[in-house]
Copies of this chain bind each other. A is one copy, B any other.
Amino acid sequence: MNSYGTLFKVTLYGESHQAAIGVIVDGVKPGTMIDETKIAADMELRKPKVIGTTPRKEDDQVIITSGVFNGIATGSPIHLMIENKNIKSKDYENLKTQPRPGHADFVANIKYQGFQDFRGGGRFSGRLTAPLVAAGSIAKMMLPFDFSYELIQIGTLKDMNLIDEYVNTIIQEGESVGGIVQLKVKNVNVGLGEPFFEKLDAEIAKMMFSIPAVKGVEFGIGFEGVTLKGSSFNDIIIDQDGHTKTNHSGGITGGISNGNDIEFKVFVKPTSSIQKSQNTFNFESKEITELKIGGRHDVAIVRRIGIVLENALAIVMADAYLKSKIYQ
């Protein structure tokens, strides 16, 4: 249940404060050039840097221990590992007693019967997205598609030129904000996605909701399209490659890529950890008590989640792409 994909398959492991986190990537075409500088570049994009991201330093060097020989994929599974360094565990000792609002502390404690590694959120930590980014980099090396992402809203702000200013006010308030990220894939061939249960939009949505903090996914015009009537909503085909006049459906019809850009929006909730005091239930005193979360946290994780979403998407596209090749 830690694997995604049929032909291009990733299997994740790791917890925030254990020795290492990593991923096995299976199904990379033998002969694919594995460019480690591209992996490093994507990892760099995930790092906290801009205002509103955590001041903690994560030195995420990706080590490849198998599946690559002389810079080329061998056809064996590729194992990518990232050591967890700079681990400070003292801040997390009372998570069982006082579950942090918005975090998985409470559910993890029930589900894993108290045996979970609670430090830093354990397997629920956003850190697990680091190997996912690395795996996605490899997926992109195999694919002829162009991926991009854009932050289109953060909190109430839609004009991204004002973003640092806006986020600074959030920091001052000891608060956090969420946002909306738009993803695009260009140059996608017609035919990706397998009905009935591996439709391309279904798989993309599944992957997006696997990323911590994602609470909504909509394709093309999305929920806003509820106000359109059929004749306006329908995308009219205008050439023999299937290009359409509008792209309300986000490049996917009947669960299958239709030759137009794949487009969808992802809602990322406000970061759960905030500087401000909050209430939570205290399982020792059996009362609602105040909790102040220590440590230094992202106030706008949405500012660095773009590459995570893009690369997670690439994993989905790689699997769909290989499946679409079977009968050719």
State whether B4 touches A195 (Cβ < 8 A): no
* A30 contacts across to B, CB distance below 8 A: 112-113, 115-116, 327
Q: Which of B104, B206, B212 contacts A206 (CB 8 A)?
A: B206
State whether B31 touches A323 (Cβ < 8 A): no
* Oligomer copy total: 4
Q: Tell me, rounded to whole Å, the shortest Cβ–Cβ distance linking A129 to chain B.
A: 10
* A113 contacts across to B, CB distance below 8 A: 30-31, 75, 327
In Å, the complex CA distance between A218 and B15 comes to: 27
State whether B206 touches A103 (Cβ < 8 A): no
> Does A54 lie at the interface of the complex (its beta carbon under 8 Å from any beta carbon of B)?
no
Which B residue's beta carbon lies closest to that of A128? B196
Q: Which of B116, B173, B228 contacts A229 (CB 8 A)?
A: B173
Interface string of A250-287 (1 = CB under 8 A from B): 10011111100000010101111110101111010010
Q: Which of B102, B170, B194, B323 contacts A249 (CB 8 A)?
A: B102
> Does A29 lie at the interface of the complex (its beta carbon under 8 Å from any beta carbon of B)?
yes
* A230 contacts across to B, CB distance below 8 A: 102, 175-177, 270-274, 276, 299
Interface size class of A (residues with CB under 8 A): 35 or more
Known: A199-B210, A269-B233. A250 touches B215 (CB 8 A): yes
> Does A86 lie at the interface of the complex (its beta carbon under 8 Å from any beta carbon of B)?
no
Interface residues of A in 86-131 (CB under 8 A from B): 99, 101-104, 106-108, 110-113, 115-117, 122-124, 128
Chain A residues proximal to chain B, CB less than 8 Å: 1-4, 6-7, 9, 11-15, 18-22, 24, 26-27, 29-31, 63-69, 72-79, 81, 99, 101-104, 106-108, 110-113, 115-117, 122-124, 128, 153, 155-156, 170, 173, 175-180, 190-191, 194-199, 201-210, 212, 215-223, 225-231, 233-240, 242, 248-250, 253-258, 265, 267, 269-274, 276, 278-281, 283, 286, 288, 299, 322-327
Excluding A155-B226, A202-B206, A223-B267, 13 further A-B contacts by CB distance (< 8 Å) are A3-B11, A4-B197, A11-B26, A12-B77, A15-B67, A19-B65, A20-B66, A65-B81, A102-B233, A103-B253, A110-B190, A202-B209, A322-B326
